[in-house]
């Protein structure tokens, strides 16, 4: 059965970090509609004043943050001495688990910056897991082409036997970056019961078989349950992120960069942050 559109969300201008102007596709107010996903931010600007203040030192616990860059780059550093740069086409899948303290500083290229950050929730059994990083370079992400008019970059998940480089993630996610020529059609199976959404980056397309409503960039399509999605590109090239994962169906207690199951766990996290006992694994790589 083809999945139908449950709802369409329009990304909203949001101020975050030390003064970064971004577009938020979904976040705190949408819980639990996108479970196991918590937030998706679209950083897209041609003006360094929108993003240069960045995201100075802040903690995370209980979640994973997934940063995917299209233009410009992000300098990343954490309290354990890890350092890196996320370049165009690269992705960082960071599992905060029990806790990391990091900074993320976007840098433009000729003033341009474009990237996405997705927050993936962790189940209660894994919220305090050891933190870890998956640094994926552009070249490590396989691309599958179908009939010369659909290209799929497989970041996470399994597309027709091609496995993405990001593996062993708790909510069994799939993260695909799909580009379709105008008028092209694409069908893809998604496990029944899994949450699935598409975020349009470029162009216009139809995201169900009714084709009643065309969806353009800076819009998110949340799918109803079913076995597969059917997507048709409009009169222009269409590019979108297609993401799915297993819902956790657990209580969400969320304050800023920390997402736990209960208020007590949140209180403890902020108390530990204040008294210097937040970091549990000093030698995380
Ligand atoms: Co962060």
DSSP codes joined into one string, the chain: -BPPEEEEEE-EEEEETTTEEEEEEE-GGGTTTTTTEEEEEEEEES-GGGTTT-EEEEEEBSEEEEEEEEESEEEEEETTS-EEEE-TT-EEEEE-TT-EEEEEEEE-BTTBEEEEEEEEE--TTTTTSPPEEEEE-GGGS-EEEETTTEEEEEEESEETTEEPSB---TT--EEEEEEE-TT-EEEEE--TT-EEEEEEEESEEE-STT--S-EETTEEEEEPSSSEEEEEE-SS-EEEEEEEE-------EEETTEEESSHHHHHHHHHHHHHT-----TT--
Q: How far is the CA of 131 from the centre of ligand 1 (A)?
A: 13
pLDDT tier at 80, thresholds 50, 70, 90 = confident
Per-residue pLDDT band for 282 (boundaries 50, 70, 90) equals low
Residue 267 in any domain: the answer is: no
24 CA to centre of ligand 1 in angstroms: 15
Instruction: Let me know if residue 83 belongs to a domain.
Output: yes
How many angstroms separate the alpha carbon of residue 207 from the centre of ligand 1? 31
The residue-averaged pLDDT of 129-143 equals 95
Average pLDDT of the residues in 12-30: 96
Q: How far is CA 3 from CA 18, 142, 177, 188, 220, in A?
A: 39, 26, 19, 10, 15
Domain range for 22: 5-245
- What is the whole-number distance in angstroms between the Cα of residue 100 and the centre of ligand 1? 9
Domain membership of residue 253 (yes or no) is: no
In the reported structure, the alpha carbon of residue 224 is separated from the centroid of ligand 1 by a whole-number distance in angstroms of 30
Distance 193 CA to ligand 1 centre (A): 29
Model pTM above 0.95: yes
Rounded distance from Cα 61 to ligand 1 centre (Å): 10
Given a cut of 70, is residue 228 above it in pLDDT?
yes
Is residue 270 in a domain?
no
Structurally, the chain folds into a number of domains equal to 1
pLDDT tens, residue by residue, 139-164: 999 999 999 999 999 999 999 999 99
Cα–ligand 1 centroid distance for 104 (angstroms): 6
**pLDDT score of 212 more than 90:** no
Query: What pLDDT, on the 0 to 100 scale, is given for residue 272?
Result: 97
Ligand 1 mean position, distance from CA 102 (Å) = 6
126 located within any domain = yes
pLDDT at 283: 56
User: Does the pLDDT at position 280 exceed 80?
Assistant: yes
Q: Mean of the pLDDT values across residues 7-32?
A: 97
Work out the average pLDDT over 88-92: 97
Q: How far is the CA of 243 from the centre of ligand 1 (A)?
A: 20
Would you say residue 254 lies in a domain? no
In 242-275, which positions are buried (b, 16+ CB within 10 angstroms) versus exposed (e)? bbbbbebebebbbeebbbbbeeebbebbeebbee
Would you say residue 158 lies in a domain? yes
Centre of ligand 1 from the C-alpha of residue 96, in Å: 9
Mean pLDDT of 29-41: 98
CA–centroid distance, residue 142 to ligand 1 (Å): 26
Binning pLDDT at 50, 70 and 90, where does residue 137 land? Answer: very high
Q: What is the pLDDT of residue 81?
A: 85
The stretch 260-279 carries a mean pLDDT of 97
CA 240 to ligand 1 centroid distance, Å: 23
Residue 172: CATH number of its domain: 2.60.120.10
Report yes or no on 104 lying in a domain: yes
- Compute the distance from residue 116 Cα to the ligand 1 centre, in Å: 12
Q: In this predicted structure, what is the pLDDT of residue 82?
A: 87
């Amino acid at each position: 059965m083809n999945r139908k559109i449950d709802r369409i969300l329009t990304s909203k201008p949001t101020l975050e970090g030390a003064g970064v102007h971004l577009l938020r596709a979904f976040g705190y107010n949408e819980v639990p509609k996108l479970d196991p996903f918590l937030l998706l931010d679209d950083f897209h600007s041609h003006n360094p004043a929108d993003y240069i203040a960045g995201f100075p030192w802040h903690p995370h616990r209980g979640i994973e943050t997934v940063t995917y860059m299209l233009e410009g780059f992000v300098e990343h550093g954490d309290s354990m001495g890890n350092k890196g740069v996320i370049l165009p086409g690269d992705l960082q899948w960071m599992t905060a688990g029990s806790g990391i303290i990091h900074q993320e500083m976007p840098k433009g290229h000729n003033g341009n910056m474009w990237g996405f950050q997705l927050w993936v929730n962790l189940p209660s059994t894994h919220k305090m897991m050891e933190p870890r990083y998956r640094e994926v370079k552009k070249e490590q992400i396989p691309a599958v082409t179908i009939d010369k008019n659909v290209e799929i970059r497989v970041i996470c998940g399994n597309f027709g036997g091609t496995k993405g480089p990001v593996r062993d993630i708790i909510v069994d996610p799939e993260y695909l970056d799909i580009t379709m020529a105008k008028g092209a059609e694409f069908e893809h199976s998604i496990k029944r019961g899994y949450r699935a959404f598409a975020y349009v980056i470029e162009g216009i397309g139809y995201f169900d078989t009714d084709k009643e409503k065309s969806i353009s960039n800076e819009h998110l399509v949340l799918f109803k349950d079913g076995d597969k999605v059917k997507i048709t590109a409009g009169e222009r090239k269409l590019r979108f992120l297609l993401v799915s994962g297993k819902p956790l169906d657990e209580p969400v207690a969320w304050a800023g960069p920390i997402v736990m199951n209960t208020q007590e766990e949140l209180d403890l996290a902020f108390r530990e942050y204040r008294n210097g006992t937040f970091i549990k694994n000093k030698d995380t790589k």
